[in-house]
Amino acid sequence: MDGGGRLAEPLTAGSPGGATARAGLRAALRLDALGSALPAAFRRRGPMARLERRLPRFAGTVLLGVFFGATAVSGLAAGGRLDAFFAQNGSPRDVLARALGFGIDAVTISGIARLDEREVLAAAGIDPRTSLPFLDAGIAREGLEALPLVGHASVRKLFPNQVTIGIEEREPYALWQVDGRVYVIAADGRVIDVFRDDPRYRVLPHVVGEGANERLEDYFAIVDAAGPLRARIRAGSLVAERRWTLTLDSGIDLRLPERDPMAALSRFVALEREHGLFDKDIIAVDLRMPDRIVVRLTEEAAAARAEEMKDRALRGRGVRT
């Protein structure tokens, strides 16, 4: 064709070269029109075309990000910074979960009176590095119930970013003194706190001695059998892990036998009612022998008693006083 779009061929109708050229041009035009009318899938049939059709959109961008991320992680690992990063921010799975919005942003704690919130979180294993999907609620509950002050605990995960913790604290039941220290204990004898000068603790029953915390049932059975004497009992001391000595509010010690202490205590109650022992200057009453009661006087009363017995002995010899 020339510059005006005309075919540069002879105008002679019978020229064989012109017919061939026109036929080739028409065929090319038809193929071009057919190719433009077909879908792109039929026009591109190579392996790269098939790969492009199978990959989602933006796959190249994602793969590029993964490449740079892997390069950065490799650099941190080679420089020894990766371990420090995970030690500060948690395990890789926790870091990923928090990045996706599954961190623990709110913790609701109910039922605590003597426990501190920080103690609860530490026992449950919850800190800023923890993620919600990988927090094991069962392990967290076991950690909470391992605290002496906790009787029962519950842990619930509320997606995407909340945890609720319910606590049932053990009730203070008695004070236990051993090795010069005083502890607050529960009904099962377990230590739940160190004694402090708290009005809630001052009124608790007091037991003393090795193993006394495990014999609370025996001690309170004795106290209940004391009848009118019960209100005056201030402490019980377990002696040699075998028998009890009761201390009254007047400072008198009642030394009970190992066997059948209730019967011995009943004898003392009857004797006190008959002779008014509380009005005497005594500091101890030994009830361990079934056929007698031994009374120990205060030093002043013992000295006065000794003088009195001495005078009686002298008068019996005819000595003038």
138: pLDDT confidence band, cut at 50, 70 and 90? Answer: very high
Tens of pLDDT, residue by residue over 198-238, are 777 888 999 999 999 999 999 999 999 888 889 999 999 99
DSSP 191: E
Q: At what angle do helices 81-89 and 92-99 cross, to 10 degrees?
A: 60
Q: Report the pLDDT value the prediction gives residue 167, as an integer from 0 to 100.
A: 96
Token representation of residue 288: 């361990």
Amino acid (one-letter) located at 199 = P
- In the chain the domains, ranked by start, together with CATH numbers, are 93-169 (3.10.20.310), 174-307 (3.40.50.11690)
Taking the model in full, what pTM does it have?
0.59
Burial class (CB in 10 A: 0-12, 13-18, 19+), 132: buried
Q: Tell me the β-bridge partners of 154.
A: 166
Predicted confidence at residue 121, as pLDDT, reads: 96
Q: For residue 190, what is the DSSP state? A: -
**How many other C-beta atoms lie within 10 A of the C-beta of residue 228?**
9
Quickly count: other Cβ atoms within 10 Å of residue 214's Cβ: 16
The answer to whether 110 touches 166, Cβ cutoff 8 Å, is: yes
Contact 178, 212 (CB under 8 A): yes
Q: Could you report the per-residue pLDDT of 75-115, keeping only the tens digit for each?
A: 555 555 656 766 677 788 888 899 899 999 999 999 998 88
Q: Looking at 27-31, 47-51, 150-154, 180-184, which range is the least confident one?
A: 27-31
More confident call, 297 vs 263: 263
Per-residue pLDDT averaged across 52-59, rounded? 60
Q: C-alpha angle 69/125/170, rounded to 5°?
A: 170
Question: At 153, phi and psi to the nearest 5?
Answer: -140, 150
